[in-house]
């Protein structure tokens, strides 16, 4: 029997396939549904200190099969109201990671503290939304380090940092997060993008700019995971374009200790079972006994 259980900075997962932060993570019940469908852990939609309605429509457009550009604009009810959804999500029986954002290091810390109080098993700091006018806009290593330090002073649960590929060096930002005390990094958030309607002669999305997710970004994500694994000592969680077990294994071979799935949920909740079963069969076929044997194997 192959062991698929992993530990990411103290967080025990029955399998390495997590639900990524995104539209499914807006309610506790949907998070429970992802857990029941087989996710090893679930991450909420990003939540801030105050309620935000987000941008007006259109906020999402499919640009190629399995690839979307979205600009939701970080809609959320605010952490005080969202606390109840976290409590409900816990009924799924898998770790609940709360994705948080803020407009300053102190605000990040306040939201993270409330997320922990509500029962969050870890927090994932969204310092990487590619288009919202709130949050940490300057993704410099210095600012990211300040955010991590502020949060680490306030919470005891593991702190993950979700990184952007929209920077000159994702490794520099990841290293700053690690030096400031981050427990893991998640790579990558969506890639800043734009789509123009040629008949209307104007950008399609209401916010003009959005973030590209899905099939199209997998090679970028795999490259980022590979680079981060080479330099960082803390675990890397891979996200970007994972639709199949092969996609997940690619991230794991690049160095991901766990992976996250988001856009593939457009094809249904069955993706968790399919990816987990596929990873298990792959490991059996290759003669491995433990998923950890293949983490980063592409470097050896
Ligand atoms: C959004 O709500 O606009 C997406 C959040 C993100 O990409 O970080």
Pocket residues for ligand 1 (CB within 6 Å)? 46, 71-74, 126, 129, 132, 189-190, 211
CA–CA separation, 268 and 215 (whole Å): 16
Alpha-carbon distances, residue 200 vs 57, 203, 209 (angstroms): 16, 8, 16
Sorted by sequence, the CB contacts under 8 Å of residue 252 that are 6+ apart come out as 16, 238, 259, 279, 291, 294, 295, 297
- Report how far ligand 1's centroid is from the alpha carbon of 281 (Å): 34
- Report how far ligand 1's centroid is from the alpha carbon of 10 (Å): 27
Q: Furthest-apart CA pair in the chain: how many Å?
A: 57
Hey, CA dihedral for 41, 50, 110, 188, is it positive or negative?
positive
pTM over 0.85: yes
* Strand-pair partners of 192: 211
At residue 130, the pLDDT reads: 86
SS3 194: strand
What does the pLDDT look like over 91-140, one tens digit per residue?
Answer: 999 999 999 999 999 999 999 999 999 999 999 999 998 887 665 556 78
**Atom number, ligand 1, closest to the C-alpha of residue 211:** 7
At residue 166, the pLDDT reads: 92
**Atom number, ligand 1, closest to the C-alpha of residue 135:** 8
CB contact at 8 A, 125 and 159: yes
CB environment 259-277: b (16+ within 10 A), e (fewer): bbbbbbbeeebebbebbbe
**Nearest-CA residue for atom 6 of ligand 1:** 129
* Vertex 75: Cα angle to 269 and 154 (nearest 5): 95
Q: 33 versus 136: which is more confidently predicted? A: 33
- Report how far ligand 1's centroid is from the alpha carbon of 24 (Å): 13
**Nearest-CA residue for atom 7 of ligand 1:** 129
CB contact at 8 A, 124 and 43: yes
Probe target for ligand 1 pocket from 22, 25, 46, with the most ligand atoms within 8 Å of CB = 46
The residue to which tokens 């539209």 are assigned: 23
Whether the per-residue pLDDT at 79 is higher than 80: the answer is yes
At residue 132, the pLDDT reads: 77
Q: Catalytic residues, which ones?
A: 129
Give the containing element (helix H, strand E) for 271. helix 271-286
What does the pLDDT look like over 175-195, one tens digit per residue?
Answer: 999 999 999 999 999 999 999
- Report how far ligand 1's centroid is from the alpha carbon of 289 (Å): 37
**Atom number, ligand 1, closest to the C-alpha of residue 132:** 3
Probe target for ligand 1 pocket from 70, 125, 192, 239, with the most ligand atoms within 8 Å of CB = 70
Q: Which domains does the chain have, with CATH numbers?
A: 6-50+71-189+213-299 (3.20.20.70)
At residue 101, the pLDDT reads: 96
What does the pLDDT look like over 202-221, one tens digit per residue?
Answer: 999 999 999 999 999 999 99
Task: Provide the phi-psi class of 178: left if phi over 0, else alpha when psi is between -120 and 50, else beta.
Answer: alpha
What does the pLDDT look like over 229-246, one tens digit per residue?
Answer: 999 999 999 999 999 999
CA–CA separation, 20 and 264 (whole Å): 10
Question: Which strand ranges, in their side-by-side order, compose the sheet holding 67-70?
Answer: 60-64, 67-70, 209-214, 191-194
Count of other CB atoms within 10 angstroms of residue 109:
23
């Amino acid at each position: 029997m192959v062991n698929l259980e992993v530990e990411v900075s103290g967080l025990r997962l029955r399998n390495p396939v997590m639900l990524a932060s995104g539209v499914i993570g807006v309610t506790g019940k949907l998070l429970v549904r992802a857990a029941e469908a087989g996710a090893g852990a679930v991450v909420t939609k990003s939540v801030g200190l105050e309620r935000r309605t987000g941008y007006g429509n259109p906020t999402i457009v499919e640009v190629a099969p399995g690839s979307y550009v979205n600009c939701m604009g970080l809609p959320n009810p605010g952490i005080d109201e969202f606390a109840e959804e976290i409590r409900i999500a816990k009924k799924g029986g898998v770790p609940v990671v709360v994705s948080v954002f803020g407009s300053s290091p102190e605000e990040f810390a306040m939201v993270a503290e409330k997320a922990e109080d509500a029962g969050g098993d870890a927090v994932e700091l969204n310092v990487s939304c590619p288009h919202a006018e709130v949050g940490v806009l300057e993704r410099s290593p210095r600012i990211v380090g300040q955010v991590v330090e502020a949060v680490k002073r306030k919470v005891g649960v593991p702190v993950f940092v979700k990184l952007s590929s929209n920077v000159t060096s994702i490794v520099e930002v990841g290293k700053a997060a690690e030096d400031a005390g981050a427990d893991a990094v998640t790579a990558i958030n969506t890639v800043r993008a734009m789509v123009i309607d040629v008949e209307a002669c104007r950008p399609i999305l209401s916010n003009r700019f959005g973030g590209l997710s899905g099939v199209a970004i997998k090679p970028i994500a795999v490259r980022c995971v590979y680079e981060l694994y080479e330099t960082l000592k803390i675990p890397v969680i891979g996200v970007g374009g994972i639709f199949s077990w092969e996609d997940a294994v690619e991230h794991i071979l690049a160095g991901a200790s766990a992976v996250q799935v988001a856009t593939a949920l457009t094809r249904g909740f069955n993706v968790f079972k399919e990816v987990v079963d596929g990873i298990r069969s792959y490991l059996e076929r290759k003669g491995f006994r433990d998923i950890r044997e293949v983490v980063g194997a592409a470097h050896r």
